[in-house]
Structures are given as C-alpha cells and as structure tokens.
C-alpha cells in the first residue's frame, strides 16, 4: 500500500553527512528504508537545529545546498511542485518529495521584503510552510517556547506571510503553533489547513497535540491531521504502536476518516547527532519507517477497513496536497 508521510526531517541527516564528505546519502541510506516502508510521497522540511539559532538564514541556505547537491546525484528522488510533478513512484523506483519549511525565523531580518523572499523560495521549489518551530518569532507564537510571548498569536508579519504562502498555493501547516496562533491562522486563512505531525490532546495532554475544537476546525476547512509517531506525543508513559492507533481511532471518530493521515516525524536517523534539545525515547513497534507495514496490519486488526487504511495512508493526504 502506498503511504504519504506529511513530515520528515531527513534533510537534516543529509546535510550533516554531506558536510562530512559522504556521497549519495539519500539513495544509499534513505531510499531502501523508505521503499521498505511503502513511502510514495513525503514532505521533507528545512529545519534550523537549536545550535544554529543565531545564524538561521545561513543554516537554511547551507542545508538546502547540501540536499540539492545530494539530489543531483540521486536516481530515486522526484522533486514535486505541482500536480503534474507527481509520478507513480513505486513503478519508477522513486520517492516523490515536497520541500517544506519548519519555521521561518530565518526571514525575520527580511520582513520588509516578504513578497520577494517568498517568490525566491517558490523558485527553489518550496511548497509548504510552518511559521514556527519550538519558539516564538516575528510571525507567530509557538509551543515549546522557553519564554511565553508578550503578545501571543499571529502578528501582522505572520498574516502577511500566510497571504504570501497562499498566493503561491503553498500548504500552510499549523503544527507547532500555540492555540492563539492556531485560531488566528484559522480565521485568517482561506485555504485548507494541515497539522502535519500532531496527535489528539484528549489521548495525550501535550501542548503539541490538538484539542477537540482544533481537530474540528481543521476538518471544517477540509484539511488533514497527520498522526505523529514521536513517543512523547503518543503517551510518555506507554508509547506503543497500539497507543498510536488509539489516537487514530479517536481522531477518526471525532472528525472522520477523511481528515486523517500520517506525519510520522521519525527521528531514528538523527539519533547520532546532538542538537541540544535533549530528546530521548522511542515508540515501541513504530521505531522507524520500516515498521509502517506492520502498523497497517495492526490497524486492520484494530478494526480499520482496507479502504479506510488506504485513505489514511495515501488518498486523504494527496487530496490536500493536490488541491491546486
């Protein structure tokens, strides 16, 4: 079965390996595992690691260059920007990859020229945007920020950034936004919203997860929620594949199968690196991308039909991605 992953940080691994002289990182290390997991299409993000927070623009440029250099050598990458860019990845031995932004703090120094900067990113193939990571910036307030913002929510620059993203038909992603910014964006946006990698707060009371009202708001805009496999957002005391499926059942019952997808946020390949965030832990039975087929089998045993699993795995996400 084909699978769409709405959130991946594999660009970070590619950049670190390329910096140390490795070649063909995607084809050699990532493609075989993605293929084993059934991945057809994925949103891969440019994310500035905590230790580069003082030079965010330079780091985004560096990661982008390393990734594009690696992709230029690849036989298995199909970069996607519009409907016509997608291919039948399995038959072509490729993975469809959409480039996204996980946080736009790197644009803070260029707020006066947002339109020009967004046009430049459009030319580089960007097609997705999260306004913040675990921070508050000039555009919005996010979860996990070490200091609560004085004025939480979407700022005037944040609203301008959303307008620019929607002008270019980018996917606008609410994962990592705090509740005030979420609702500001909900009322400001005119397009479907995605929460690429978030779970249900009713099952796991973490600020990165979504309240029932937020889930319903996303569904009302014909958006999608991508289930996150990160242990802390599943159940910090008992992170298992079955607890992950509990989130799927809860969200499906609350807002319908059509609003559910996967945004796994697998981090196993980042374990060797020290990013300064102190994250540890794993989800038993869903440790990495190769475990997806077993997950789908377990979902079937838990009561999901073949059609429902296909919708969650693939067609729901592609409906939103191809909304253009």
Q: Which two tokens stand for residue 130?
A: 């999260």
Mean pLDDT of the chain: 94
Of the candidates 141, 51, 43, the one whose C-alpha atom is nearest the C-alpha of residue 100 is 43
In the prediction, which pLDDT does 89 show?
Answer: 75
Segment among 74-78, 144-148, 318-322 with least mean pLDDT: 144-148
b or e along 34-53 (b: 16 or more beta carbons within 10 Å of the residue's beta carbon)? bbebbbbbbbbbbbbbeebe
**What value does the mean pLDDT take over residues 276-305?**
91
**What value does the mean pLDDT take over residues 193-208?**
97
In the prediction, which pLDDT does 273 show?
Answer: 83
Q: Which two tokens stand for residue 298?
A: 């377990």
pLDDT band at 257 (very low <50, low <70, confident <90, very high): very high
Per-residue pLDDT at 277 exceeds 60:
no
Give residue-wise pLDDT tens across range 214-239: 999 999 999 999 999 999 999 999 99
Per-residue pLDDT at 150 exceeds 80:
no
In the prediction, which pLDDT does 324 show?
Answer: 53
Segment among 61-70, 80-89, 191-200, 292-301 with least mean pLDDT: 80-89
Give the structural domain span for 50.
3-321
In the prediction, which pLDDT does 278 show?
Answer: 56
Per-residue pLDDT at 111 exceeds 90:
no
In the prediction, which pLDDT does 87 show?
Answer: 79
Ordered DSSP codes for 180-243: HHHHHHHHH--S-EEETT--BTTTS--TTSBPHHHHHHHHHTT-EEEEP--HHHH-SS--BHHH
| Residue found by looking up tokens 């936004």 in the block | 177
Q: Is the model's pTM score more than 0.85? A: yes
> How many distinct structural domains can be found in the chain?
1
Is 314:4 a contact under the CB 8 Å cutoff?
yes
Give residue-wise pLDDT tens across range 48-89: 999 998 999 999 999 999 999 999 999 999 999 866 688 787
E-strand ranges in the chain read 3-8, 39-46, 77-79, 95-102, 126-130, 171-173, 193-195, 224-227, 260-262
Q: Which CATH number is 234's domain given?
A: 3.20.20.140
Angle between helices 212-220 and 241-255 (to 10 degrees): 60
Question: β-strands 95-102, 171-173: how paired?
Answer: unpaired
């Amino acid at each position: 079965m084909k699978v769409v992953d709405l959130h991946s940080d594999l660009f970070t691994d590619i950049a670190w390996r390329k910096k140390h002289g490795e070649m063909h990182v995607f084809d050699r290390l990532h493609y075989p595992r993605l293929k084993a997991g059934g991945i057809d299409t994925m949103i891969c993000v440019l994310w500035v690691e905590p230790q580069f927070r003082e030079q965010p623009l330079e780091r985004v440029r560096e990661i982008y260059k390393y990734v594009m250099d690696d992709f230029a050598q690849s036989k298995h990458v199909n970069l996607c920007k519009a409907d016509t860019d997608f291919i039948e990845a399995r038959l072509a031995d490729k993975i469809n990859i959409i480039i996204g932004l996980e946080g736009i703090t790197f644009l803070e120094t260029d707020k006066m020229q947002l339109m020009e900067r967004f046009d430049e990113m459009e030319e580089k193939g960007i097609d997705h945007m999260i306004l913040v990571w675990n921070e508050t910036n000039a555009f919005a307030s996010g979860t996990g920020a070490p200091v609560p913002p004085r004025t939480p929510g979407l700022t005037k620059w944040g609203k301008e950034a959303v307008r620019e993203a929607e002008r270019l038909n980018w996917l606008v992603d609410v994962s990592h936004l705090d509740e005030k910014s979420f609702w500001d964006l909900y009322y400001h946006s005119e397009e479907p919203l995605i929460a690429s990698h978030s779970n249900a707060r009713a099952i796991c009371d973490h600020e990165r997860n979504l309240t029932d009202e937020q889930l319903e708001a996303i569904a009302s805009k014909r958006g999608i929620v991508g289930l996150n496999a990160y242990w802390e957002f599943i159940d910090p005391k008992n992170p298992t594949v079955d607890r992950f499926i509990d989130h799927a059942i809860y969200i499906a019952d609350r807002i319908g199968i059509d609003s559910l997808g996967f945004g796994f946020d697998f981090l196993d390949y980042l374990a060797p690196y020290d990013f300064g965030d102190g994250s540890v832990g794993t989800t038993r039975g869903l440790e990495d991308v190769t475990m997806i087929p077993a997950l789908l089998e377990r979902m079937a045993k838990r009561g999901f039909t073949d059609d429902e699993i296909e919708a969650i795995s693939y067609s729901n996400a592609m409906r939103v991605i191809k909304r253009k």
